[in-house]
Amino acid sequence: MRTAAWFFGIMALSLTTIAQTPRDFAIDLRATVSDTAPCITLSWSLRQANKIASQKLHRRLKNASGMPWELQATLASNATTYADSSAVPGIEYEYWLQRSFAGLSPSPAVGYLSAGVKVPEVHQRGTLLLVVDDTLAAPLAPEIAQLTADLAADGWTVQSLLAPRAGTPAAVKALIQSAYNADPEQVKMVYLLGHVPVPYSGNIGPDGHSNHVGAWPADGYYADMDGIWTDASVSNTSASRPANVNIPGDGKFDQSYLPSATELMVGRVDLHSMTKAPSTAATELLLLRRYLRKAHDYRHKQGAYAAIPRRSLIRDGFGYFRGEAFAIAGWSWAFTTVGQDIDVAPSGQWFADAYAGGKDYLVAYGNGGGSYESASTIGTTTDFGLYPSRAVFTSLFGSYFGDWDADNVLLRAPLAGNATGDSLGLTCF
């Protein structure tokens, strides 16, 4: 009996040390700051400690895109803190901690953080091109005026452009390029409002479904000012959804990858053809009006957004899937955005009162086997239309979600919200 107990005890210990979760590969990097040296002290937790082979910390100046990371320190495998004695007030730094493991996959684990002491506020962010669906400009004029004022208060110089809803992506891009070329040093971002023509590009099927290979929505086209986009070589008619079919000369592009680095940031608020969220009939115009009013409330910390806690929700419906751990992205996002205040929702509990149905979250991440309108263990577009989802910034990962231009697609459901209007979603990606 003692031998059996010893055997099972060793087995339990072995399983404890070997078992791994996606959480193990996201490092909860934190910072404390001081006016005097060391100005920035980093700390983090250890997971799978007996498997850690090395830890390396890198640093660079914030927004130094294109500049290499510099190795700041090679740390002991059991280190949990680092004091940056060379950091100085007034400068913001980016830190990247890389942890390699022996015998664990995927490896390495990474943590990211930006930190600084008395970093000057940014009052001038550059020019934002507000590209508005021409059919919505007049009926949404008061809300667009409020949005413009809010963006200006955030430091943006707003330049409005009217885009023909019935036009082509090439025509819209010509408007954007003209504005960019007039002031390339200042134009930084494109904000697409409404059903601005959606570019489709590529011959891809990143979700692994053979009936979903073809052209996918590609707003990156509007962010690339000097890349070459062609419509001559891809010929694929096998996709189940007609919009994904891509043949030469059809207005959909060939490129499966960005042909060059993007010059601009780009985002879109587009609530066309959302008939299941909310659950009661609402026109696209009404949904956009409600969305813009919520966005205003969030920026001013008023109404339902008056006291959003720095808290995150995670629902991992995949775990380890064929050697991949998709939820690493969710854990990394949560640690960087909110720190340690993270709720892990059981299967089917996203909309429960104990989670997003009754608690407020700044960010929420979920993944699961998907369709255009559903994510297993999370819910459906109809669920988002019926129940509150009280997460402001949402990320959902699953099959078909990237094809976001489809009717009633899940990825846009958090923005459309529910009939009673107590959902808080402002983004989903």
278-289 pLDDT tens trace: 998 899 999 999
Residues in contact with 226: Cβ distance below 8 Å, sequence separation at least 6, in sequence order: 260, 263
Q: What is the band of 13 on the pLDDT scale with cuts at 50, 70, 90? A: very low
Question: 178 φ, ψ to 5°?
Answer: -60, -45
Does residue 354 have a pLDDT over 90? yes
Tens of pLDDT along 370-407? 999 999 999 999 999 999 999 999 999 999 999 999 99
243 vs 279, more confident: 243
The pLDDT of residue 5 is 38
When pLDDT is cut at 50, 70 and 90, the band that residue 4 belongs to is very low
Q: Which residue segments constitute the domains of the chain, with CATH numbers given?
A: 22-117 (2.60.40.10), 127-269 (3.40.50), 284-428 (3.40.50.1460)
Contact 368, 315 (CB under 8 A): yes
Residue % of the chain over a pLDDT of 70: 96
Instruction: Count CB neighbours of 368 within 10 A.
Output: 21
State the amino acid at position 406 in one-letter form: A
Residue that is written with structure tokens 């399983």 in the block: 15
Per the listing, tokens 């007039």 go with: 182
Closest CA to 99 of 46, 21, 31: 46
User: Tens of pLDDT along 211-221?
Assistant: 999 999 999 99
Contacts of 363 (CB under 8 A, 6+ apart): 312, 313, 333, 334, 337, 338, 391, 392, 393, 394, 395
Query: And the tokens for 176?
Result: 């954007």
> Are residues 111 and 170 in contact, defined by beta-carbon separation less than 8 angstroms?
no
φ, ψ dihedrals at 88, nearest 5° = -125, 155
> What average pLDDT is seen over the chain?
94
CA dihedral of residues 142, 148, 150, 153 (deg, nearest 10): -140
**What's the whole-model pTM score?**
0.93
Q: Is residue 19 scored above 80 in pLDDT?
A: no
CB contact burial 417-428 (16+ within 10 A = b; e otherwise): bbeeeebbbbeb
Please say if the pLDDT value at position 3 is more than 50. no
- Pick the closest to residue 233 from 202, 276, 278 (CA basis): 202
Confidence grade of residue 367 (pLDDT, cut at 50, 70, 90):
very high
Which among 33, 108, 16 has a CA at the least distance from the CA of 325? 108
CA distance 418 to 387: 6
Please tell me the predicted confidence (pLDDT) of residue 18.
52
Task: Name residues whose C-beta falls within 8 Å of residue 177's C-beta, 6 or more positions apart in sequence.
Answer: 225
The C-alpha angle 309, 312, 313, rounded to 5 degrees, equals: 130
Average pLDDT estimate for 266-288: 96
How would residue 194 be classed by pLDDT, with cut points 50, 70 and 90?
very high
Going by pLDDT thresholds of 50, 70 and 90, the confidence category of residue 324 is confident
> Which residues is 161 bridged to in the sheet?
131
**132 token code pair:** 């508005």
pLDDT at site 106: 79
